[in-house]
Structure 1
């Protein structure tokens, strides 16, 4: 994107240079054949800079331009077979700017801006594009015409036609001011959006600070780990007790076999097995219930934190994108 401040700075720099050149030359000097007799100090200005300055502050270019007009032969030329020649003319409609021997540019005089659409002779030096030229149009210099100095040093021959673009005047105005205003508006909108994102980010951080102590007070991580450890210890103790019971049964069964009838032994064995199953079932139920509660609480904490951090990450991405776009602007 073009920066309006850069454009204005370049215009001021060019204006300063042209003023210095004007002081050295004491006004425009006629260019002679091959720059051999009366030499002119070329203006160190590029084609692009001429376009920018002409479309913004064209009067700056006059001080180092030679005012020219079509020769009588060129003015009456309609066939296109004869070359278009310019010559010095105090009331001419063209400004000639010498950048160097190989770069001689011609632009329309600002004196004809208001009625350029009526000048058929202007079409001899410039091609028109865009809307049809009329009083309702505003034109921009797209490309200056290029000329070559003739041996006389007081005439210049057209090498390449320039380009003027006509467009609706509505909404145009100053290019630099328009660009500057557009950039300012974009910067303002970007700053507002960045401010909103910062505000949202701070609100989320504040909410996170408020939620975290509540969650920690309800179920601290250390307590979850302690509960898990206690559950594991309880399971180990019960398994140890079961093993001891089985060991005792293995020792008692041979003695009981010799004293009790087979049917009674089987009944006792069955009752013991049922009791063991009940203990195991109760133990499993208690363990599963406890684990489900722990997992549910841990899951809630994890989901809550993941959600908060996700929101923070999304806001950071938006913020970085806006700051990047702002820096490019």
Structure 2
């Protein structure tokens, strides 16, 4: 019995057969040489290949390597701006190149792509290049959102200077046509899109560049993100982390005060939304600390320097109520 079983045993019996089910487009010899020249930074070789393609149509200048990269993406990855400019001058399709450059944080490449005017024929991009299933980025991700996700100050500044916008996030239970339709098609993707917007809005660099009152913006956004963490169960942790990021940013801004005058100006500053007719005797009313109470800002501040800078705060009741109760300083660190 045992001998018959051993006779039928095959070492390949417990193996899973594998085969390629998604065939890659075969590259011609000219296309391989062209992509290799881009990879090596061979400017003359790339220029020659592009000229040959214009005259003899012997290759597709928008061909992709086995990793799915076009010549332009390879040049971005290698930070070769000269070859990038050469490719753009010859009308190569840009596709997701701007998003790719932003993700790689290649500032020069981003600047070059922003200043490049697409040729009129760009709209007739081959479907393979523009099909969302071949894109590395979801449709809701815009250049400014991706730049904010990386928190790259230089790239964000380049985009903000061009008057870009970020979509305003809708309420969780918004019943507008867009939200209802998106939620019905894919509720998880709809929630992810909202998270992507808030992740961009919470970027310290974006807040610093685009907000007239970064501390107030950080306070409000931190509170809003904390509230969202209570209702968006799928992304609770992400919203909590973004809320803490905003609070740390507000704290770090306050820590930059170099003198009692600067700190006093910051703490008493009122946003336009808070303008009230005040008695002149109430001009030093610590508006920023009151905002901290309102938005539950409890990040730790070193209170000893704060109290030394502002002698007016050394009233024990005010110190304990405003500082100890709001931003979490302990009485052991304060002069009470």
**Band of TM-score, shorter chain:** under 0.3
TM-score, scaled relative to structure 1: 0.19
Greater Cα radius of gyration, structure 1 or 2:
1
Q: Where is the strand percentage greater, Structure 1 or Structure 2?
A: 1
Higher relative contact order (CA 8 A, sep 6+): 1
TM-score, scaled relative to structure 2: 0.19
